[in-house]
Structure 1
Amino acid sequence: MSSAMRSATGGVEEFRAAIRDWLGEQLRGDFAALRGLGGPGREHEAFAERLAWERHMAAHGWTCVGWPEEYGGRGASIEQQIAFHEEYALADAPARVNHIGEQLLGPTLLDHGTEEQKARFLPGIRAVEELWCQGYSEPDAGSDLAAVRTRAVRDGDAWVVHGQKTWTSLAHEAQWCFVLARTEPRAPGARPHAGLSYLLVPLDQPGVEIRPITQLTGTGEFNEVFFDGARTPASHVVGAPGDGWRIAMATLGYERGVSTLGQQVGFRRELDALVALARANGAAADPLLRDRLVRAWTGLRALRANALTGTDPSLAKLCWSHWHRDLGELAMDVRGAAATLAAGEPYELDDWQRLFLFSRADTVYAGSSEIQRNIIAERVLGLPKEPRP
């Protein structure tokens, strides 16, 4: 066992020091230019180079650190995983390109996949050789995920998929998509999520069309994905056919896991830069703006405390998404009238404008705020469910 691997079984501070030292050594030379690149609204930045960086991480055993060692991970504890994500963000390392595979599908397969599925898909995720996207939302089924209309029909030893997904992050870069599809007709009086299945579908095949969606930021990391007779082997269903809702909810739980602590380091960096801007341009002298900056500071510390104590994932998502959206609005007010002017032709945005525009989506993607409030009310507080038509 290497010294780096042994650190995963040692103390948290030893593990933290190992990843900090490795990042300090490796983010040099050609990789030094990648610092700070990528992330929400900026996924187009140096994507090929960031992919090469992440494969470099994989070659040195720094991907999938929380996975069991038998599946290529380091078996890192929750505390060590927190340390990893925080140190990665503190190093200003480039945004990860394999988050959906490593943080969402990988844990789903570890907990719910067959051994054959684990053997087929986990090595490609760990090595960053196969990228994944999430096929949940549809034009008429975003927050109401149980209303998905994409359907899959069994045809011999394959599933045949027809339908449309939207807001599919990085589908244009991915080779695979995990798709929530209806495989059984909805029976009268049945629960809306009954009969859904969780399928693993290859994207590079006839019957799949991917169209990037141009966002307010001018970038196109979200996509529409059309399935018209796309096929995937019958064995590529996670869990039992018809049990897709349970698997899909498990995936959403992983999405809101410890990696959000690294996200909060990025939030802190944005807030620190905004405070510096407010001091430089005089906005900090405005008592109302100064009060909002203080509220943002205290709110960020509340986010961290909640994450460390294992707050319900829906509550955590509700809190961070509103905090970040409010930070975008605060940035525009700190900048004043200059915030309304593009930095250049034809539509060049600065970092504050991009933050404001992209953060409008924070309260929608990965579960809208309205749905999170319903989940908290019904499943956490035990309140009566809303009447449904």
Structure 2
Amino acid sequence: MSQDQHQPDDARTAALRERVAAFLAAHDPAGTDRLDFLRARFDAGLAWVHFPEGLGGLDAPRALQSVVDAAFAAAGAPDNDPRRNGIGLGMAAPTILTVGTDEQRQRFLPPLWTGEEVWCQLFSEPGAGSDLAALATRAVRDGDDWVVTGQKVWTSSAHTARWAILLARTDPDAPKHRGLTYFVCDMTAPGVEVRPLRQLTGEAEFNEVFLTDVRVPDAHRLGAVGEGWRVAQTTLMNERVAIGGHAAPRESGMLGRVAATWRDRPSARTAESHARLLRLWAEQEAFRLAGVRLRQQLAAGAPGPEGSAMKLAFARLAQAGSALELELLGEDGLRYDDWSLRRPDLVDFTGREAGYRYLRAKGNSIEGGTSEVLRNIIAERVLGLPAEPRTDKDVAWKDLPR
């Protein structure tokens, strides 16, 4: 496929469809074990088509991924259950591809894509708040290993994860952004303890993770020692695109639920709620079209700060839409069927009760970067406004007040 980079788009698309058809002829979705089918699809370069050959891809344009996915879906082929491993697929995989060694790519990418190994993210800490670079989890070199001790929080999927992307401090004498190193952490290693965090919804989708003298091989370090902040930017940019930049049809997601409630409850309609619904619809459509443009940019390169704007808009629209739906439903919107402590594998934003949607949407402006931090990123990196003064920029982390 890499030899066809200069073909016209229609010829390249046709060649890719032929490749998928040949694969399906050799691997009947109805008669092949699901995991065997997914492994074969990865080996055939039909997992991430824009990844290199041998790593699930064909060195093809990213825009052709939709062609492949549509062909497999039309054939009734099994997928890799992407919602179950969103952190792995949307954040860990592009980071490993960008900065990982050949050995790391070969070890981690295949079972990540097939869903055999779920991933989580050990970034946030209770003492660092929105200032990720102020994190205190320490990693100390001991021969061929690093010994990691600290606490992480708000860790989605930690209770099901096999691996974690981990940011830890390796040099407390350096300024906070320059003393960090990025690792892959085995969530089954001795010293890793996962505890549920009960949320406003009643369930424990998130966790807190305690790391006590956890040994991480230096072979599981991603990037150079002290370059963790730079590597983390690759992860964070991809995270915001994964949350807010996905393809969506018109009137989908939270807006679709609000519109359905509006149509089903004519007695609840008012001129004021009608105006709010129209405004939400227009803003959602602008958001959807901006997502189309963002994906076109992704097809030409890596994600940039524009993903922060998409994630910011996603959170605001989800919260505004769920609030309007609750008002339209009145007292029925307060009903919530299950307040028991559950630890779900998947987060279902729109398939649950309206009360759940309203409560869960509150977290959208926190997860994946708080809305306040994202506004700063947009101001500085998109609009070119002056940066906020940072008096701690060149101060050693160990000398910062805590």
Report if TM-score (shorter chain) is over 0.5.
yes
- Say which SS state the counterpart of residue 11 (structure 1) adopts: helix
Q: Are positions 1:342 and 2:344 aligned together?
A: no
- Say which SS state the counterpart of residue 171 (structure 2) adopts: coil
Alpha-carbon distance, 1:346 to partner: 6.4
Other-structure match for 1:144 = 131
Q: Show the 5 A alignment for 1:220-231.
A: 220-231=204-215
Partners of 2:217 and 2:10 lie apart in 1 by 37
Partners of 1:225 and 1:196 lie apart in 2 by 19
- 1:263-295, Cα deviation, whole Å (9 max, x unpaired): 634971442232122122125631111111111
Partners of 1:112 and 1:8 lie apart in 2 by 33
Alignment gaps of 5+ in structure 2:
2-8, 295-304, 343-350, 392-402
Partners of 1:285 and 1:386 lie apart in 2 by 44
Partners of 1:290 and 1:246 lie apart in 2 by 46
Q: Which amino acid aligns with 1:305?
A: L
Segment drifting more, 168-177 vs 282-291: 282-291
| Cα distance change on mapping 1:302 and 1:364 into 2, 3 Å | same
Other-structure match for 1:31 = none
Partners of 1:283 and 1:10 lie apart in 2 by 53
Q: Are positions 1:183 and 2:148 aligned together?
A: no
1:169 pairs with one of 153, 156, 167: 156
Other-structure match for 2:280 = 296
Other-structure match for 2:354 = 352
Partners of 1:72 and 1:346 lie apart in 2 by 40
Other-structure match for 2:311 = 317
| Cα distance change on mapping 1:182 and 1:345 into 2, 3 Å | closer
- Say which SS state the counterpart of residue 170 (structure 1) adopts: coil
Alpha-carbon distance, 1:257 to partner: 3.2
Alpha-carbon distance, 1:132 to partner: 1.0
Q: Are positions 1:213 and 2:197 aligned together?
A: yes
Partners of 1:63 and 1:249 lie apart in 2 by 24
Whether the 8 Å CA contact 1:206–1:230 is kept in 2: the answer is yes
Partners of 1:253 and 1:211 lie apart in 2 by 28
Whether the 8 Å CA contact 1:328–1:359 is kept in 2: the answer is yes
Q: Show the 5 A alignment for 1:1-389.
A: 10-11=12-13, 57-61=38-42, 63-81=47-65, 96-187=83-174, 190=175, 192-257=176-241, 260-262=244-246, 264-265=248-249, 268-282=252-266, 285-310=269-294, 312-343=306-337, 350-389=352-391
- Say which SS state the counterpart of residue 235 (structure 1) adopts: helix
CA RMSD of aligned residues (A): 3.7
| Cα distance change on mapping 1:341 and 1:164 into 2, 3 Å | same
Segment drifting more, 195-204 vs 75-84: 75-84
- Say which SS state the counterpart of residue 273 (structure 1) adopts: helix
Whether the 8 Å CA contact 1:159–1:233 is kept in 2: the answer is yes
Whether the 8 Å CA contact 1:137–1:145 is kept in 2: the answer is yes
- Say which SS state the counterpart of residue 241 (structure 2) adopts: coil
- 1:57-79, Cα deviation, whole Å (9 max, x unpaired): 55545643442232123545232
Whether the 8 Å CA contact 1:135–1:165 is kept in 2: the answer is yes
Partners of 1:118 and 1:252 lie apart in 2 by 19
Partners of 1:273 and 1:54 lie apart in 2 by 34
Q: Which amino acid aligns with 1:139?
A: P
Whether the 8 Å CA contact 1:213–1:222 is kept in 2: the answer is yes
Q: Which amino acid aligns with 1:10?
A: R
- Say which SS state the counterpart of residue 367 (structure 2) adopts: coil
Partners of 1:89 and 1:329 lie apart in 2 by 34
Partners of 1:351 and 1:53 lie apart in 2 by 32
Q: Which amino acid aligns with 1:159?
A: W
Alpha-carbon distance, 1:135 to partner: 0.7
Alpha-carbon distance, 1:130 to partner: 1.7
| Cα distance change on mapping 1:205 and 1:106 into 2, 3 Å | same
Whether the 8 Å CA contact 2:201–2:360 is kept in 1: the answer is yes
Alignment gaps of 5+ in structure 1:
2-6, 29-51
Segment drifting more, 210-219 vs 364-373: 210-219
Whether the 8 Å CA contact 2:156–2:207 is kept in 1: the answer is yes
| Cα distance change on mapping 1:290 and 1:82 into 2, 3 Å | farther
Partners of 1:177 and 1:65 lie apart in 2 by 24
Partners of 1:347 and 1:209 lie apart in 2 by 19
| Cα distance change on mapping 1:127 and 1:14 into 2, 3 Å | closer
Q: Which amino acid aligns with 1:232?
A: V
Task: Percent identity, please.
Answer: 39
Other-structure match for 2:399 = none
Q: Number of residues paired by the alignment?
A: 355
| Cα distance change on mapping 1:361 and 1:235 into 2, 3 Å | same
Partners of 1:272 and 1:27 lie apart in 2 by 32
Whether the 8 Å CA contact 2:198–2:341 is kept in 1: the answer is no
Partners of 2:169 and 2:289 lie apart in 1 by 39
Whether the 8 Å CA contact 2:241–2:308 is kept in 1: the answer is no
Whether the 8 Å CA contact 2:201–2:339 is kept in 1: the answer is no
Partners of 2:15 and 2:362 lie apart in 1 by 37
Partners of 1:324 and 1:53 lie apart in 2 by 34
- Say which SS state the counterpart of residue 264 (structure 1) adopts: coil
Partners of 2:340 and 2:86 lie apart in 1 by 31
